[in-house]
Amino acid sequence: MEHDRNGVVRLSWRGGDRFDLAVRRHVVRVDQTSDFRGSDTGPTPVELFVGSLAASVAQCAERYLHRCQLPAGVSVTARYDLDVRPEHASRIELVVEVPDIPHGLRESLANTLDHSTVTAFLRVPPEVGVRVHEAEPGSVPGCVPERARGTALRYVRGDERLRREFDNLLARFLREQPDHGRWDVTPLVEALDRLGRQIPRLLVRLSRHPPEEALRVSVEFDLPAIPAPVPGPSAHPR
């Protein structure tokens, strides 16, 4: 079975330094460590780079063992030195552990691993080109449309049509978020139901705040003025 030798990797912003790296049907979260003001929700780009090198070597070693009809079960540990100026991995050491390999095949295996796919990329670096395009909001995966950053919904207790409209608009707002389903809005709906028993008409404003990863909710309503007391007949002493 032939496979396309060309590939596409897409990244979608998820707030802060967080990105979702999508390749084929797989998604990997990329972030920065807390030391570099990240949220540490996934590996860093450098860690992914070192990990891809280690994975390439591990797969190459496993296939070598299979061809030689040797026991499977390769493990690889990668250690690297990271220079700051300029920031790059200045040294990477890979330790490959294989079960029950004959002493005479160790050098042959090492030579084979030195030509793994990612290792070959480092030996002959690919040409890298960067192009910058201006995109309309919402046209890039992960870019939150303006309407998805904030909305205002009417909540009217006792009106089934308006209640269904509220539920539909709330669901639509949540679907438009790049990480749909992250917020549990059940307490919000329950609180509105209780408040609606006293104040039937409410305006609910929702706004997304990526830095805090929070969904901010504010509720507005009108309080009717208390009628001024009607002055009674003046009482004059006789």
Separation CA 71–CA 65 (nearest Å):
7
Does the pLDDT value for residue 9 go beyond 60?
yes
How sure is the predictor about 95, in pLDDT bands with cuts at 50, 70 and 90?
A: very high
Residues 6+ apart with CB under 8 A from 133: none
Does the pLDDT value for residue 63 go beyond 50?
yes
pLDDT at residue 48, as a whole number: 93
What's the rounded mean pLDDT across residues 195-222? 78
Identify the residue with better confidence: 80 or 225: 80
pLDDT at residue 216, as a whole number: 81
Does the pLDDT value for residue 52 go beyond 90?
yes
Percent of the chain with pLDDT strictly greater than 90: 17
pLDDT at residue 221, as a whole number: 82
Encoded amino acid at 72, one letter: A
pLDDT per residue as tens digits for the range 114-167: 889 898 888 888 888 888 877 655 455 444 444 445 678 888 877 777 778 888
3-state DSSP helix/strand/coil percent for the chain, to nearest 5?
Answer: 30, 25, 45
The predicted model scores a pTM of: 0.55
How sure is the predictor about 212, in pLDDT bands with cuts at 50, 70 and 90?
A: low
pLDDT at residue 47, as a whole number: 92
Does the pLDDT value for residue 87 go beyond 80?
no
**Superfamily grouping for domain 44-123:** K homology (KH) domain (3.30.300.20)
pLDDT at residue 53, as a whole number: 94
Please check whether residue 61 is in contact with residue 117, taking contact to mean a CB–CB distance below 8 angstroms. Answer: no
Q: Of 52-56, 143-147, 189-193, where does the model show the most confidence?
A: 52-56
At CA 100, angle to CA 96 and CA 104, rounded to 5? 80
Separation CA 144–CA 121 (nearest Å):
35
- Residue tagged 């002055």 (tokens): 231
Q: Which of 20, 21, 23 is nearest to 8 (CA)?
A: 23
pLDDT at residue 25, as a whole number: 83
pLDDT at residue 49, as a whole number: 92
Q: Residue 57 has what DSSP assignment?
A: H
Sign of CA dihedral 110, 112, 114, 118: negative
Q: Which of 206, 218, 217 is nearest to 150 (CA)?
A: 206
- The helices-and-strands tally (H runs, E runs) of the chain is 6, 8
Length of the chain: 238
Please check whether residue 165 is in contact with residue 136, taking contact to mean a CB–CB distance below 8 angstroms. Answer: no
Q: Domain-by-domain residue ranges, the chain?
A: 44-123, 146-220
**Where do the DSSP E strands lie in the chain?**
10-13, 19-23, 26-30, 75-84, 87-97, 150-156, 201-209, 214-220
